[in-house]
Structure 1
Amino acid sequence: MSIAEYHKLVRDKIPEMIREQGETPVFRILEQEEYLKELDRKLDEEIREYQEDKSLEELADVLEVMLAICKARGYSEQELRDVYEKKHAKRGGFEERIYLISKE
């Protein structure tokens, strides 16, 4: 029997899915500070995967991690949306594809 090593944060249902495949997951529950650190690592991983693939699926994974970070840091999804909308109203978005060269 071979052992696959991962050492990374995984989605909540992964241990159950591993059991359903007849294997035994070995895991632990992270403390809050560790969890925040691993969420940041997971965000980097998901962004890399999106950059390689450019798929909506990978973009959804980035959003999933962003929402988990938001919650883990004590913010609600609505608070995030409110800050986003305020910044968007004040500074705009990226829809017009403006690429700033310089400022004189």
Structure 2
Amino acid sequence: MTKVYNKLVRDRIPEIIASTGDKYKIRTLSDAEYIEMLDEKLDEELKEYHEDKNIEELADILEVLYAVAKARGYSKEALEETRLKKREKRGGFEKKILLIETIRDQQEV
């Protein structure tokens, strides 16, 4: 029986499939295809997190984010540095603040 996936998988998946005795068909993506498939993978992992809400899905999201950053020419360190700068400037999400609305004084318009 053949099952078609056509999706980006982790590097060791072919090895894991082979260890079960199953055969597989793969190809290496171009850089442009890789970035496109990473974006799809991120959507997939976010969907899985929304369904399961477990640490494994969070780890998968982080793994894909690191791969996206690398594919776009950013290091993990640059990503973390940018995150920290943004956090310093705009804050994090610990205070659980929900913005309802803003009201601009009509005299200022």
Query: The TM-score by the shorter chain falls in which range?
Result: over 0.9
* Runs of 4 or more consecutive aligned structure 1 residues displaced over 4 Å after TM superposition: none
| 1:23 paired to 2:22 | yes
Q: How much does 1:103 deviate?
A: 1.1
Q: TM-score, normalised by structure 1?
A: 0.98
Q: Give the number of equivalent residue pairs.
A: 103
C-alpha distance in 2 between matches for 1:23 and 1:38: 24
Structure 1: segments with no counterpart, 5+ residues? none
Residue 91 of structure 2 corresponds to: 92
| Equivalent residue, structure 2, for 1:53 | 52
1:46-66 deviations in Å (ceiling 9; x for gaps): 000000000011011000000
Report deviation, 1:21. 0.4
The residue identity in structure 2 corresponding to 1:43 is L
Letter matched to residue 2 of structure 2: I
1:37 deviation in Å?
0.2
TM alignment of 1:1-104, pairs within 5 A: 2-104=1-103
What amino acid is aligned across from residue 33 of structure 1 in structure 2? A
Give the Cα separation in 1 of the matches to 2:23 and 2:57: 27
Q: 1:3-25: per-residue Cα shift (whole Å, max 9, x none)?
A: 11111000000000011000111
In 2, the alpha carbon distance for the partners of 1:61 and 1:73 equals: 18
After superposition, the CA RMSD in angstroms is: 0.5
SS at match of 1:39: helix
Give CA-to-partner distance per residue, 1:14-49, whole Å, 9 cap, x none: 000011000111000000000000000000000000
The TM-score, its normalising length taken from structure 2, stands at 0.93
For residues 12 and 85 of structure 2, the distance between their equivalents in structure 1, rounded to whole angstroms, comes to 35
Name the larger-Rg structure: 2
